[in-house]
Amino acid sequence: MASSTSSSSTTLQDKYDVFLSFRGEDTRHNFTSHLYAAFCQKKIRTFIDDDGLKRGDEISPALLKAIEESKISVIIFSKEYASSKWCLDELEKILECKEKNGQMVMPVFYHINPSDVRKQTGSFKDAFTKHEKKFKKMLEKIQRWIAALIEASNLSGWDLMGFD
């Protein structure tokens, strides 16, 4: 168990080496499960949400804490990633930890073109059209999600367009 340390430290007491951010319906039972298994095999402490996490309007404090307690976040962008308010909220928190704590962020573009993420085209455009209708009074939040997608898609990562 990690002991608490001073918050002035640039790195929090890391509980995880890697936090995986992904849209479960798209990648849980294929790419993400294989990546998680490979990390575990190499003894890399990896946080992955489970199917049993309670879904609600807001990300749970436990999930936010897991992001904060990770050295690296791997964001697996997939076709339906932007349709999930949870994924977009996770992305915001990940980029906040990158800025505040120097957390390394590594994007993976799984069956999605990085420019679709950056410019919100294709399935990302469709997702934001729905978000704008559903969250009419939360336009600032939607703008933060768009800014987060642009920032994350401009990071060096992996384009796995043809990977199965």
Rg (CA), the chain: 16
* 111/114 Cα distance (integer angstroms): 9
Instruction: Give the pair of three-digit tokens for residue 60.
Output: 């749970």
As a whole number of angstroms, the distance between CA 89 and CA 14 comes to 21
What crossing angle do the helices spanning 85-101 and 139-153 adopt, rounded to 10°? 60
Supply φ then ψ for residue 80, to 5 degrees.
-105, 10
Report, as residue numbers or ranges, the catalytic residues.
Answer: 90
